Amino acid sequence: MLISVIVPCFNESAVIEATWKRLAQVMGACAKDGDHSYELIFIDDGSRDDTLSKLKTAAQKDSHVRYISFSRNFGKEAAMLAGLTYASGDCAVIMDADLQHPPEMIPEMLYWYEQGYDQVIARRNRKGDKKRSAFMAHLYYRLVNHIVDVKMMDGVGDFRLLSRKAVNGLLAMQEYNRFSKGLFSWIGFKEKIIEYENVQRVAGETKWSFKRLLSYGIDGLISFNNKPLRICFVMGGILVFISCIYILITLIQILLHGIDVPGYFTTICAILIIGGVQLISVGVLGEYIGRIYYEVKRRPHFLVSDTNMKDPKDIEKRNYDR
C-alpha cells in the first residue's frame, strides 16, 4: 500500500527540515511494521525564502521526498489540490508544515483506514488557545452550521487521511473557489474522528492574519449555499411589512385624532434602515456574481514552475480505476 503525505508550504524555511525528518521517521516506522511504502509531497506555494532550496536538498538525500513549486503564491487551497492531483497513493494524508499537526498521529490514522474508514479526521482540542479566539471560533461554527448545507465541526481542519475514493471525489469537483472544509464534509463517505492535543508552532510565524481569517470565514458562509441571498430577501420582506403597518397606523391616527404629520426623525430612520439593507443585499449579490465570474473564466487553480514528480495525467487513469 502506498501512502501519500501532502504538506503545503509557504515560507517555512525555519521548520521544513524538522518536518521532513519527523515525517521520515514516522513513515519509515510504518513501512517497517506493515506492507507499506510512502511518498512525502511538499508543495511550495510561491515561498519567498529558501523553502524550495531546502526541499530540493531533502529530495537528494531522501528518495521518498517529492516537491512541487508554484510559479507564485496561489494559496493553501490550491496547494492541497495540487498535492491531491499529483498523489498516486492508495490513501493520502494532508497536514501542515509547521508541525502543529503531529506526524505521530499518522499510524493511528492508518489503523482506522485499514478498518474501512474513508476519512480519518484529526480534531484538536482548544487547550492553550486564547479564550477570545476559542469563543469566536465556537460562535462562528454555530453560525455557519445554521446557514450552510454541510456540517463543519469546531477544531477540525485539513489534518486528515483520505482514501483513494475520497481523493477521487474531491478531484471530481473542480470549482475555482474552493473551501476544503466544506468539500471534505460534502463528499461524505465513512468517517472516523480522532482527538489530539493542541500543539504550538515549532518555528516561524503563522501565515493567518486577521484579514485572511475573515476572508476564509466568509468563504465558508457562502461557498455551499444561497441562504445569504434568501436572508436578504426575508429582511427586505420584513421591512416592507413593518413599513406598511407603520403607514397604516399613522394614517389611522391622522384620521381619528388629527395628529401632526411626523417630522424628519422618522423619515431619516426609515431611509437609514432601508438603505443599510439594500447595501448589504447588493454586497451579498456582488459576492456571488464575483464567484460566478471567476468560475466561468476557467483559469487553472495553480501553475507549476518546478517539480520532481511525474505529470499527473500519467497517473490519473490508474488512480480513478481504483
Q: Which CATH class is domain 2-209+301-320?
A: alpha beta
pTM over cut 0.85? no
Q: Give how far Cα 222 sits from Cα of 16, 17, 57, 213, Å.
A: 34, 37, 41, 15
Helices (H), 172-226: 180-187, 210-222
Could you state, in order of their start, the residue ranges of all structural domains in the chain? 2-209+301-320, 227-297
Cα separation, 319 vs 322, in Å, equals 6
Q: Write the CB contacts of 45 (distance below 8 Å, at least 6 apart in sequence).
A: 8, 9, 10, 70, 73, 74, 75, 76, 78, 79
Answer yes or no: is pLDDT of 27 > 80. yes
Confidence tier at 46 by pLDDT (50, 70, 90): confident
Strand partners, 121: 160, 193
Cα separation, 96 vs 2, in Å, equals 20
Which of 247-251, 253-257, 261-265, 302-306 shows the lowest mean pLDDT across its residues?
261-265
User: For 196, phi and psi rounded to 5 degrees?
Assistant: -145, 160
The angle formed by the CA atoms of residues 27, 162 and 113, to the nearest 5 degrees, is 70
Answer yes or no: is pLDDT of 216 > 60. no
Q: Kindly report the average pLDDT of the chain as a whole number.
A: 76
Nearest Cα to Cα of residue 181 among 138, 227, 224: 224
Q: State residue 150's pLDDT score.
A: 67
Q: State residue 161's pLDDT score.
A: 92
> Are residues 200 and 241 in contact, defined by beta-carbon separation less than 8 angstroms?
no
Identify the residue with better confidence: 218 or 113: 113
Confidence tier at 76 by pLDDT (50, 70, 90): confident
